[in-house]
Chain A
Amino acid sequence: MKSLGSIRRSFAPWADPASKPFISFRNVTKKFGDFVAVDDLSLNIYTREFFALLGASGCGKSTLLRMLAGFEQPTSGEIILDGQNLAGIPPYRRPVNMMFQSYALFPHMTVETNVAFGLKQDGMPKPEIAARVEQMLKLVKLEKFAKRKPHQLSGGQRQRVALARSLAKRPKVLLLDEPLGALDKKLREETQFELMDLQQELGLTFVVVTHDQEEAMTMADRIAVMAHGKVVQVATPAEIYEAPNSRFVADFIGDVNIFDGTVSANADGRVQIETASGFPIRVVAPDGPAAGAKAGFAVRPEKIKVSRDAPPSANAVRGEIWDIGYLGDMTVFHVRLPDGKVVKASSLNAVRAVEDPIGYDQEVWISFAEDAGVVLKD
């Protein structure tokens, strides 16, 4: 697993003990009455990082963002931004800007005056404001729409205005609350890459809140998976996907098969797990659980091979094709094992027509390599 994390770029300040975090949440707790939205959370975000807070609704990710923006005050703990403790600093004096989920454009102002709003509050001279606004509108390709009002724009255009407005003051950090949530799928995918390019170009720190794992995986340098007000795992998208640290993360991100069982041996960095499905799993696990412990083995569908003939490797078991889902780019097989467990396996459709494809009710073998997944301690 040496190459994980270096897949995207050679940018990894979090791995360097000498680098100082730009934003630090230190034991931050936020309660609304009896409800604990954020629970004793600590997190570091580095300069120029594209950081994603990922989680289901109600996990506290938006509250975290709103505390950074200054709309909520932590019940306890502190937030440090660029060496400055943010406690007691109102939103209008913080060097961060936010792009709202609803875009929150001022309906009575034109695109131009929306973008100029923040600069005007700072008392910037008029010619400079005009120049900056022009530059911002050029950046988001909306020069032609400067005189329009928000209701005269389409959803995608409004999103761009919101982005231009939040970038106009050149904040140290840009906060994005579900920035692409209101766009349709195609536009969303385009915009994801545009946001990444923009972040690179401007050299800013982005903190994005999203419930869409694909969005987080595509854009972020690192992802914090959150649940019940806590961070479950912080890592690069590849690490999160290939080496989830818990059952929750494995299950939350992407599709996964989990085999439960008991560890029967642990030697030479490998463990053997006796599963209920009637076959032993022998896999690589450097810090695996000791013999006798309960454990689970999580393996992604695309790491499982489906074949008619018995594979030569270990980690193979016979099953029956239960369901086939043809998705175009790939096919998902649901294979039923003798004990009734259904395993998902997907294979890429690299050729257009296969002679004698695997069909319903056929007896097949499923198999996977010894480093295909991760052992989860219970």
Chain B
Amino acid sequence: MSTWSRFNIASIIFGFAFLYLPIVLLVIFSFNESKLVTVWAGFSTRWYVQLLHNQALLEAAWVTIRVALISATIATVLGTLAALAMTRYTRFRGRMLFSGMIYAPLVMPEVITGLSMLLLFVAIGFDRGFWTLTLAHITFTMCFVAVVVQSRLLSFDRSIEEAAMDLGATPVATFLQVTLPVIAPAVFSGWVLALTLSLDDLVISSFTSGPGATTLPMKIYSQVRLGVTPEINAICTILIGIVAIGVLIASVVSRRREAQRVADERAAFAQ
């Protein structure tokens, strides 16, 4: 980009402002002394301190993390298996229908997913709480994992699996020692995606959770209805910080790995 025309500069400023102004405001006001959200009364960290004493909010955060970890892990296992089945057994009847059904939840309105889950749990008499919430999260995050893993499997060189079997590895040993390590990065990104989706889900959680299983997004939403407090700003700032650090680490690691790979290849062909 050699010319910084006024138009370019303006579009960049507006674009970034559009994306980040609300977040910046939220972060600034989380350090506000005043209880009134819109009036600046000096810098303070009192809302962060108060947050530590808000048992209900911490409780909700703990529920959210537990649900996210459990559901993301189970969804990753199921999603990976589904992706394997879809890419490996290409010749069975009704494959199109099956693959369509795996991806349907991607485009299904969350309200419908949530409502249908609720109806199911009511119908089978499953008391709503932590486990119904976890089950619902597994259901809607699984298809995202399947999509991520499947796209990796499509470019997977099957001959390395054949080589493993040729060398005496049983199908199970082949999967554990060859297939899984090779697709591990994709499986891991599927897991991270499932984790993030589960962490910030509000709609499906509202339908499927019960007493004693309130997630952080639900708690924040219900508090906001009573008015935005700086405390909410504080917890949101913490969440933003965690996400930002996570993204930063991921990009640094992947950039390092890429640079290492390029350097290795150059070294190999220089000989």
Chain A residues at the B interface, C-beta cutoff of 8 Å: 69-71, 90-93, 96-98, 100-102, 104-108, 117-118, 121-122, 148-149, 151-154, 157, 165-166, 169
CB distance from B88 to the nearest CB of A (A): 14
Q: Which of B51-59, B66-74, B155-163, B228-236 contacts A (4 or more CB under 8 A)?
A: B155-163
Q: Which of B164, B165, B181 contacts A90 (CB 8 A)?
A: B165
Check A122–B268 contact: CB distance below 8 A. no
Check B264–A117 contact: CB distance below 8 A. no
Number of interface residues of B (CB under 8 A): 24
Q: A102-B159, A104-B162 are in contact. Are A153 and B168 (CB under 8 A)?
A: no
The 4 closest A-B pairs by CB, nearest first: A118-B167, A121-B168, A104-B163, A104-B159
Task: Give the distance in Å from the alpha carbon of A96 to the alpha carbon of B165 in the complex.
Answer: 11
CB distance from A374 to the nearest CB of B (A): 40
Task: Give the distance in Å from the alpha carbon of A10 to the alpha carbon of B162 in the complex.
Answer: 37
Check B178–A106 contact: CB distance below 8 A. yes
Which partner residue on chain B sits nearest A33 by CB separation?
B91
Which partner residue on chain A sits nearest B170 by CB separation?
A92
Task: Give the distance in Å from the alpha carbon of A90 to the alpha carbon of B122 in the complex.
Answer: 49
Query: Does B5 reach chain A (CB closer than 8 Å)?
Result: no
CB distance from B151 to the nearest CB of A (A): 18
Q: Which residues of B contact A157 (CB under 8 A)?
A: 268
Q: Which residues of A contact B264 (CB under 8 A)?
A: 149, 151-152
Q: Which of B159, B173, B182 contacts A100 (CB 8 A)?
A: B159
Task: Give the distance in Å from the alpha carbon of A135 to the alpha carbon of B182 in the complex.
Answer: 28
Interface positions of B from 166 to 193, Cβ below 8 Å from A? 166-170, 173, 177-178, 181-182
| Most chain A C-beta atoms within 10 Å of own C-beta, residue among B157, B163, B268, B269 | B163
Check A97–B159 contact: CB distance below 8 A. no
Q: A108-B182, A151-B265, A152-B268 are in contact. Are A121 and B159 (CB under 8 A)?
A: no
Q: A71-B162, A151-B261, A154-B269 are in contact. Are A121 and B167 (CB under 8 A)?
A: yes
Check A91–B166 contact: CB distance below 8 A. yes
Q: Which residues of A contact B226 (CB under 8 A)?
A: none
Q: Which residues of B contact A118 (CB under 8 A)?
A: 167-168
Task: Give the distance in Å from the alpha carbon of A121 to the alpha carbon of B165 in the complex.
Answer: 10
Which partner residue on chain A sits nearest B173 by CB separation?
A121
Q: A104-B157, A108-B182 are in contact. Are A152 and B163 (CB under 8 A)?
A: no
Check A169–B181 contact: CB distance below 8 A. no
Check A117–B268 contact: CB distance below 8 A. no
Q: Which residues of B contact A93 (CB under 8 A)?
A: 168
What 0/1 pattern do residues 69 to 95 of B give for CB contact below 8 A with A? Answer: 000000000000000000000000000
Query: Does B271 reach chain A (CB closer than 8 Å)?
Result: yes
| Cross-chain pairs A/B with CB under 8 angstroms, 14 sampled | A69-B166, A97-B167, A98-B162, A104-B157, A105-B163, A107-B182, A117-B167, A117-B177, A118-B167, A121-B169, A151-B268, A154-B268, A157-B268, A165-B163
Which partner residue on chain A sits nearest B178 by CB separation?
A106
Query: Does B9 reach chain A (CB closer than 8 Å)?
Result: no
CB distance from A91 to the nearest CB of B (A): 4
CB distance from A17 to the nearest CB of B (A): 34
Q: A104-B157, A108-B182 are in contact. Are A91 and B162 (CB under 8 A)?
A: yes
Interface positions of B from 233 to 271, Cβ below 8 Å from A? 261, 264-265, 267-269, 271
Given A104-B163, A107-B160, A117-B177, 5 further pairs, Cβ under 8 A? A69-B166, A91-B162, A96-B166, A98-B166, A106-B182
Task: Give the distance in Å from the alpha carbon of A101 to the alpha carbon of B163 in the complex.
Answer: 11
Which partner residue on chain A sits nearest B265 by CB separation?
A151
Check B169–A102 contact: CB distance below 8 A. no
Which partner residue on chain B sits nearest A157 by CB separation?
B268
Q: Which residues of A contact B268 (CB under 8 A)?
A: 148, 151-154, 157
CB distance from A105 to the nearest CB of B (A): 7
Q: Which of A108, A151, A154, A169 contacts B167 (CB 8 A)?
A: A169
Q: Which residues of B contact A121 (CB under 8 A)?
A: 167-169, 173
Q: Which residues of B contact A90 (CB under 8 A)?
A: 165
CB distance from A338 to the nearest CB of B (A): 55
Which partner residue on chain A sits nearest B167 by CB separation?
A118
Q: Which residues of B contact A102 (CB under 8 A)?
A: 157, 159
Which partner residue on chain A sits nearest B174 by CB separation?
A92
Q: Which residues of A contact B181 (CB under 8 A)?
A: 108
Q: Which residues of B contact A97 (CB under 8 A)?
A: 166-167
Q: Which residues of A contact B165 (CB under 8 A)?
A: 70-71, 90-92
| Most chain A C-beta atoms within 10 Å of own C-beta, residue among B160, B168, B181 | B168
Check A100–B163 contact: CB distance below 8 A. yes
Which partner residue on chain A sits nearest B263 by CB separation?
A152
Check A169–B265 contact: CB distance below 8 A. no
CB distance from B157 to the nearest CB of A (A): 6
Q: Which of B159, B169, B182 contacts A92 (CB 8 A)?
A: B169
Which partner residue on chain A sits nearest B169 by CB separation?
A121
Q: A100-B159, A102-B157 are in contact. Are A117 and B164 (CB under 8 A)?
A: yes
Which partner residue on chain A sits nearest B160 by CB separation?
A104
CB distance from B178 to the nearest CB of A (A): 6
Which partner residue on chain A sits nearest B158 by CB separation?
A104
